[in-house]
Amino acid sequence: MFILREIVMVAMGSIRANALRSGLTTLGIVIGTAAVITMVALGEGAQRRVQEQIENMGTNILTVRPGQGMFRGVASGSRRLEEDDALALRDQIGGVYQIAPEIESRLQVTYSRSNSSNSVVGTWPSFFDLHSHELAYGRHFDEGEVQGRRRVAVLGSNVPDDLETPGGLLVGRTIQIRGIPFEVIGVLKEKGGAMWMQPDDQIFIPLSTAMYRVMGGRDRLRSIYVAAPSPDELDPAWAEIDRVIRREHRILPTEEADFSIQQSSDILETFNETTQTFTLLLAGIAGVSLLVGGIGIMNIMLVSVTERTREIGVRKALGATRKTILFQFLIEALVLCVLGGILGVAGGFGSAELITNLFGTQTAVAPEAVAVALGFSAAIGLFFGIWPARRASVLDPIDALRYE
């Protein structure tokens, strides 16, 4: 008990006495730990971003997309998804679920002297509610305006910037989409992007207007969104959609469908897996540098044992047992590594913060990562400290006392 305190004090004293050497040796562990923490923070940050995006996209939304029809194992070209499919869905399951079709094209948009290229989306009024798009100014378009193929537009929150005019002033003004005049009736609040979707940069117009007036009779939908009342009801929703579209496309339940129904989180989870793999890979590489740091510790501990051979002899002559000597050197290695680990964690926090500030990449230091990094550096101290410590402990006191 009393010996333990002496052991720790001797270890600390030895580290202090060789401050520069101890510092340089520990640097290997510091850098290794900091690298691991930074890499894991980057990965964790990416994952959290994805998580936020899933929530932003709505966890209760299914997306129907045209898929490739297969005939005897050969792709037979992409099948269409049409407004009729959306109407069928609305007629048959619209009571429970919200339906919004979407047609999209990147078009030139002008206002006054400003000129920009934006993604223009034709859809139904239900789209706004389904995706929780709230208004900053003006109003959404309504069913009547869809029926009447009216030239009205609702702008995403970034579009007024593209057109170099404040959002509030644009409401009631006329902008040109592909040279066709549209009245701006509303500007949305900022929503934030999710993966490839950047609704803040988009312009929303009635589906019918888009199909017949702007996109020249195109009737291929990009997708149909279906929102279930809650995320728990996605499975029955999936079954209903499958049933309705199969009937529309005259596909038997046993045949392969020519459309796909995706949950927004499916796509993101795939992305998540990729991120995780990358994080693991990067953390692994960083871990190797931690290992190299451990070898540095072992090297310096061997030097320390040789230098202090005489001291070891004296201690043994005065009654130190093998175990005492073993612990003394083991604890010295352990203290070096844990000290390095703590500094490394601090450094990791710092560099993660720096990355966020410099590149705007989201980072997050997970408490588990800190625990693992500290545990790992302690384990390295034990692993690489044990051999030098054993060498010290088995020294013959006579030889050690005679050592010059």
Partner 1 sequence: MRNGKSGRDMHGSGTGVNGVVIHTEGLRKYYILGAETVRAVRGVDMEVARGEFVAIMGPSGSGKSTFMNLIGCLDTPTAGDYWLNGRKVSELSDDQLARVRNRDIGFVFQTFNLLPRASSLHNVELPLIYAGLPSKERRRRAEEKLELVGLGDRMDHKPPELSGGQRQRVAIARALVNDPALLLADEPTGNLDSVTSREIVDILIELNRIGQTIILVTHEADIAAAASRQIHLSDGLVERDFMNEGMKN
Residues that bind partner 1 (CB under 8 A): 1-3, 5-6, 13, 17, 310-311, 313-324, 397-398, 401
- Render 146-196 in DSSP notation, one character per residue: HHTT--EEEE-TTHHHHTTS-HHHHTT-EEEETTEEEEEEEEEPP---BTT
In this structure, the strands spanning 74-78 and 68-71 are: antiparallel
Least Cβ distance, residue 8 to partner 1 (angstroms): 12
Tokens of 370: 């800190």
The angle subtended at Cα 80 by Cα 77 and Cα 86, nearest 5°, is 160
For tokens 């109003």, the residue is 139
Q: Cβ closer to partner 1: 130 or 312? A: 312
Least Cβ distance, residue 299 to partner 1 (angstroms): 22
Residues 282, 283, 287, 288, Cα dihedral to 10°: -10
Decide: 79 and 247 in contact? Cβ < 8 Å. no
Q: Cβ closer to partner 1: 6 or 273? A: 6
Q: Cβ closer to partner 1: 247 or 322? A: 322
Q: Cβ closer to partner 1: 199 or 313? A: 313
Instruction: Measure the CA–CA gap between 269 and 132, rounded to whole angstroms.
Output: 22
Instruction: Measure the CA–CA gap between 343 and 165, rounded to whole angstroms.
Output: 50
**Which residues touch 123 (CB under 8 Å, ≥6 apart)?**
100, 101, 102, 103, 204, 206, 207, 210
Tokens of 297: 């510790």
68: β partners: 78
Three-class SS of residue 320? coil
Q: Cβ closer to partner 1: 15 or 211? A: 15
Residues in the chain: 404
139 alpha-carbon distance from chain centroid: 34
Q: Cβ closer to partner 1: 2 or 196? A: 2
Instruction: Measure the CA–CA gap between 160 and 58, rounded to whole angstroms.
Output: 25
Least Cβ distance, residue 2 to partner 1 (angstroms): 6
Please name the helix (run of DSSP H) or strand (run of DSSP E) that holds residue 109, with its range, or none.
strand 98-111
Least Cβ distance, residue 315 to partner 1 (angstroms): 7
Least Cβ distance, residue 18 to partner 1 (angstroms): 11
Least Cβ distance, residue 7 to partner 1 (angstroms): 9
Least Cβ distance, residue 5 to partner 1 (angstroms): 8
Q: Cβ closer to partner 1: 235 or 396? A: 396
Least Cβ distance, residue 13 to partner 1 (angstroms): 6
Q: Cβ closer to partner 1: 139 or 402? A: 402
DSSP letter (8 states) at residue 319: T
Three-class SS of residue 114? strand
Least Cβ distance, residue 329 to partner 1 (angstroms): 15
Backbone angles phi, psi at 196, to 5 degrees: -80, -10
Q: Cβ closer to partner 1: 191 or 308? A: 308
